[in-house]
Amino acid sequence: MKPYIIGVAGGSGSGKSTFAHRIKEAFPTQVSLISCDNYYLPHDELPLEKRAHLNYDSPKALEFDLMVRHLEQLKNGQAVLCPVYDFSKHTRSSLFTEIKPCPIIIIDGILIFHDKDLRDCMDLKIYVETDADERILRRARRDMVERGRDIDSVIEQYLSTVKPMHNTYVKPTKIFADIILNGGKNEQAFQLVKTQIEQLLCK
């Protein structure tokens, strides 16, 4: 069978990556996971200080063409070299991660439903919807613990780009979703998707 591609979208801190990783953990050898975050454009021509203040929540920040090309290669049974983004330096690192073709490919990211060509690659589109207060708290914890940011920079970025871009670009894309989940830890939804994948794998 050709890979079945599942897109998991939602606002920053919504729990979409948590949901995607749960699926991966349930089918460790049959699922490949791609994070849209690794496809941020590098902007190595800019100094670190300027890169830190770019709008990373706009569709213009992402290399959609490369994502589409990689998904098409995976569908054709070819492994791809996925870039690795360094959030501490606001650019891509020199490393790559090999993504191998698997029966199930999951791609997650805030804007993956924005680009029509990318949407058209997906067989199932899931949107994770979570209360805004919960999303900002999760984002603050993640950015400070995992990405070395301070609270002032997290707040400044949230108010200047994350919140307005969510309302302008991310939230409207839920109309493209086949399934809308209430939070990334929705157990009933997880079991339904898990069962669907089990049925696909048995074919």
Domain coordinates of the chain in residue numbers? 4-197
CB atoms within 10 A of CB 117: 13
CA 194 – CA 180 distance, rounded (Å): 15
* β-pair type (91-99, 80-86): antiparallel
Q: By percentage, how much of the chain surpasses pLDDT 90?
A: 63
Query: 4-197, what's its fold?
Result: Rossmann fold (3.40.50)
User: How many Å apart are CA 107 and CA 147, to the nearest integer?
Assistant: 21
145 band by pLDDT with thresholds 50, 70 and 90: confident
Give the pLDDT confidence score for residue 34 in this predicted structure: 96
Determine the pLDDT at residue 172: 95
| pLDDT at residue 154 tops 80 | no
pTM for this structure? 0.88
Q: How confident is the model at residue 63, as a pLDDT?
A: 97
Per-residue pLDDT of 84-102, as tens digits, reads: 999 888 899 999 999 999 9
Q: How large a percentage of the chain has pLDDT more than 70?
A: 98
Give the pLDDT mean for 5-34.
Answer: 93
Mean pLDDT lowest for which of 79-88, 97-106, 124-133, 136-145?
Answer: 136-145
CA nearest neighbour of 9 among 126, 106, 171, 115 = 126
Q: What is the pLDDT of residues 45-78, one digit of tens each?
A: 999 989 988 889 899 999 999 999 999 999 999 9
**Confidence at 133, pLDDT banded by 50, 70, 90:** low
**What are the tens digits of pLDDT across the range 173-184?**
999 999 998 876
Question: Is 105 within 8 Å of 77 (Cβ atoms)?
Answer: no
Buried b or exposed e, range 93-116, using 16+ CB within 10 angstroms: eeeeeebebbbbbbbbbbbbbbbe
